[in-house]
Amino acid sequence: MSVAGKFGAVPQTVHGWLRRADVDDSVVGGLSSDERQRIKDLQRENRELRRANEILKAASVFFAAELDLRLKS
């Protein structure tokens, strides 16, 4: 019985685990799990900051229009 069968996994899954371990241990090149997670976190933060920036821009336009109306009255 293969190692994969003992874990109830297909051989490709075990191969992926071994490949990931080799990358994490710097045996082969590639992004480590920590680096992948860091990139994912930074991408999420970037999306959140872009969304917050859009909200602030919309609020700025709204309040500028309100101020303009008050100044014209």
Residue 63 confidence (pLDDT): 93
Residue 1 confidence (pLDDT): 54
- Residue identified by tokens 């293969």 is 2
3 secondary structure, DSSP code = H
What is the residue-level pLDDT of the chain in tens, covering all 73 positions? 578 888 889 999 999 999 999 999 999 999 999 999 999 999 999 999 999 999 999 999 999 998 887 878 7
Measure Cα distances from 36 to 9, 10, 31, 32, 47 in Å. Answer: 24, 24, 6, 6, 17
Residue 35 confidence (pLDDT): 97
Residue 66 confidence (pLDDT): 87
Rounded CA separation 43/49 (Å): 10
Rounded CA separation 24/17 (Å): 10
